[in-house]
């Protein structure tokens, strides 16, 4: 057992951080948000983007002080108790193994359309097998694959923003985009054609496309300079969300009227490219979506396995998960995650409207649960760090603790609003996710009671004098 190794280079970490915020959900799911909120979807993205920036700032503060492969799960373990680290770690693992099935199926559909000689299930198998092999070789090979996947996404979305922006302002040579213009922001029923309430409904539709921002803090534990990597990715989150999310959605809603039927029929980005008369727009977008899917699969497998590794290391999962090969790869953790991913893929083909739908809905609100736990962990961890090693506070949450409490309140509000949403399965998603969370919590408390509440925490629990300092503030 050699432990994880520092196999990720700075360029890998930079691209993982940039690419982590560009999920396939941005390309695939934005059309339903635009149809619901109109141009006001920009406010939905800005609201969720602000939430992610604040949560990442908190996570960055804790991870820069104590970089670890368990990231927020390890921080929760130390700040809130074993039950918190156990629960949020397993819920996050569950989220990503379900994502593996979703992304494998999405990628398989595109590949089967291009090469129908291989059945869809065959492509899902091939894609999963290739990326499993990549992750099993070394963390460096994962980083290299992700570097190129993320690079293609970044270049593609950057080109889309530049070309689309030129067309909006009427300076793109050789293109007559008669539908484009800033007038699309207000000219078809106003900026909020379906009323201000649609902004919150839009939040529900776009919030899950932001999951993945935290991957850089997990990966930092396997880099040469973890503290620098975390600090850099935390500080750059604002421009990444501003450019890739708000920038690209702004281009979409100014190139076409929000209620143009092609947005819902073809997808927002394909419709926007088509409006410019770009040949083979659909296939170009399919290639970009496929790249995003493969990137998400690659990172999802990496993330699930590292969370399983961390849980194993802390005694919250089988010890075999914490064993690594001579190359520093947690083989058992990777293989178990893949097996569950394959099982979920099978359910997707065999029982898409029952078992798989349950898996999707029961993991849907996990992103919000994770963000909420990060808020409460940071409130306590700040005091622990200040008492133990204040020099490690190289990244600080703004306006602590007021902004942390405000962020937590906003997350609770979004969860509460989801309970009122029956049109987009918001209520079902929250209730099923709460059910799964409750089951995991029960297991956590039973496990803690059985072992007498011991605290075998990686990095060590706060000492008695530190705990006393924390209590007294």
Q: What is residue 186's predicted lDDT score, i.e. its pLDDT?
A: 92
Q: Is the overall model pTM greater than 0.85, yes or no? A: yes
**Residue-wise pLDDT tens digits, 314-369:** 999 999 999 999 888 999 999 999 999 889 888 888 888 888 888 888 888 898 99
Q: Does 260 reside within a domain? A: yes
Residue 139: both structure tokens together: 């963390």
CATH number for the domain harbouring residue 390: 1.20.1740.10
Of residues 454 and 310, which shows the higher confidence score? 310
Of residues 384 and 215, which shows the higher confidence score? 384
Whether a cis peptide bond, with omega within 30° of 0, leads into 401 is yes
**Is the per-residue pLDDT at 427 higher than 60?**
yes
User: Is the CB of residue 67 less than 8 Å from the CB of residue 226?
Assistant: yes
Q: What is residue 282's predicted lDDT score, i.e. its pLDDT?
A: 82
Which percentage of the chain shows pLDDT scores above 90?
A: 46
**Is the per-residue pLDDT at 454 higher than 80?**
no
Quick one: DSSP state of residue 8? B
Task: Find the domain containing 15 and state its range.
Answer: 10-472
Q: Does 224 reside within a domain? A: yes
The values of phi and psi at residue 385, to 5°, are -65, -45
Q: What is residue 467's predicted lDDT score, i.e. its pLDDT?
A: 47
Q: Structural domain tally of the chain?
A: 1
Rounded CA-CA distance 87/145 in Å is: 31
**Is the per-residue pLDDT at 377 higher than 70?**
yes
Q: Does 3 reside within a domain? A: no
Q: Does 5 reside within a domain? A: no
Residue 473: both structure tokens together: 């503030």
User: Is the CB of residue 62 less than 8 Å from the CB of residue 72?
Assistant: yes
CA dihedral 113, 114, 117, 123 (to 10 degrees): -80
Determine the 3-state secondary structure of 363 from DSSP.
helix
Rounded CA-CA distance 181/296 in Å is: 33
- Longest CA span, the chain: 73
Q: Does 328 reside within a domain? A: yes
Q: Does 141 reside within a domain? A: yes
Determine the 3-state secondary structure of 223 from DSSP.
strand
**Average confidence score pLDDT of the chain:** 87
Nearest alpha-carbon partner for 333 in 305, 311, 355, 363? 305
Q: What is residue 176's predicted lDDT score, i.e. its pLDDT?
A: 67
Q: Does 2 reside within a domain? A: no
**Residue-wise pLDDT tens digits, 140-151:** 898 898 899 888
Q: Does 467 reside within a domain? A: yes
**Is the per-residue pLDDT at 223 higher than 60?**
yes
Q: What is residue 2's predicted lDDT score, i.e. its pLDDT?
A: 56
Which percentage of the chain shows pLDDT scores above 70?
A: 94
Q: How far are the Cα atoms of 11, 155, 157, 248 from residue 243, in angstroms, in the given order?
A: 20, 12, 9, 7
Nearest alpha-carbon partner for 208 in 420, 419, 23? 23
């Amino acid at each position: 057992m050699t432990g994880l190794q520092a196999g990720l280079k700075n360029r890998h970490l930079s691209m993982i951080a940039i690419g982590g915020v560009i999920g396939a959900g941005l390309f695939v799911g934005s059309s339903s948000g635009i149809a619901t909120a109109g141009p006001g979807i920009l406010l939905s993205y800005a609201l969720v983007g602000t939430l992610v920036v604040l949560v990442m700032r908190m996570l960055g503060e804790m991870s820069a002080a104590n970089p670890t492969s368990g990231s927020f799960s390890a921080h929760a373990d130390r700040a809130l108790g074993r039950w918190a680290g156990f629960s949020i770690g397993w819920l996050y693992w569950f989220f990503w193994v379900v994502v593996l099935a979703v992304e494998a199926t999405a990628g398989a559909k595109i590949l089967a359309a291009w090469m129908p000689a291989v059945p869809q299930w065959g492509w899902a198998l091939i894609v999963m097998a290739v990326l499993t092999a990549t992750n099993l070789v070394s963390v460096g090979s994962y980083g290299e694959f992700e570097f190129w996947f993320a690079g293609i996404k970044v270049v593609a979305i950057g080109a889309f923003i530049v070309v689309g922006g030129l067309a909006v302002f009427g300076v793109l040579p050789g293109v007559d985009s008669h539908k484009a213009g800033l007038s699309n922001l207000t000219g078809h029923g106003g900026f909020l054609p379906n009323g201000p309430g649609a902004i919150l409904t839009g939040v529900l539709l776009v919030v899950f496309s932001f999951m993945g921002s935290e991957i850089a803090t997990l990966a930092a534990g396997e880099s040469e300079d973890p503290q620098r990597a975390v600090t850099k990715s935390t500080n750059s989150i604002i421009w990444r969300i501003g450019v890739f999310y708000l920038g690209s959605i702004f281009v979409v809603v100014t190139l076409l009227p929000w209620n143009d039927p092609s947005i819902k029929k073809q997808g927002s980005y394909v419709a926007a490219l088509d409006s410019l008369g770009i040949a083979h727009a659909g296939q170009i977008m399919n290639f970009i979506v496929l790249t995003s899917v493969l990137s998400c699969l690659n990172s999802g497998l990496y993330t699930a396995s590292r969370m399983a590794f961390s849980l194993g290391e802390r005694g919250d999962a089988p010890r075999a998960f914490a064993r690594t090969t001579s190359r520093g790869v947690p083989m058992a953790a990777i293989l178990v995650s893949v097996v569950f991913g394959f099982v979920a893929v099978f359910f997707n083909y065999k029982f898409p409207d029952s078992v798989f739908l349950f898996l999707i809905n029961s993991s849907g609100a996990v992103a919000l649960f994770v963000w909420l736990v990060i808020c409460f962990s940071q409130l306590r961890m700040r005091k622990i760090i200040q008492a133990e090693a204040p020099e490690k506070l190289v990244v600080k949450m703004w306006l602590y603790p007021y902004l942390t409490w405000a962020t937590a309140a906003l997350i609770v509000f979004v969860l509460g609003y989801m309970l009122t949403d029956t049109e987009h399965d918001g209520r079902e998603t929250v209730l099923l996710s709460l059910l799964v969370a409750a089951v995991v919590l029960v297991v956590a408390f039973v496990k803690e009671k059985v072992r007498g509440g011991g605290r075998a925490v990686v990095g060590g629990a706060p000492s008695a004098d530190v705990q006393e300092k924390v209590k007294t503030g």
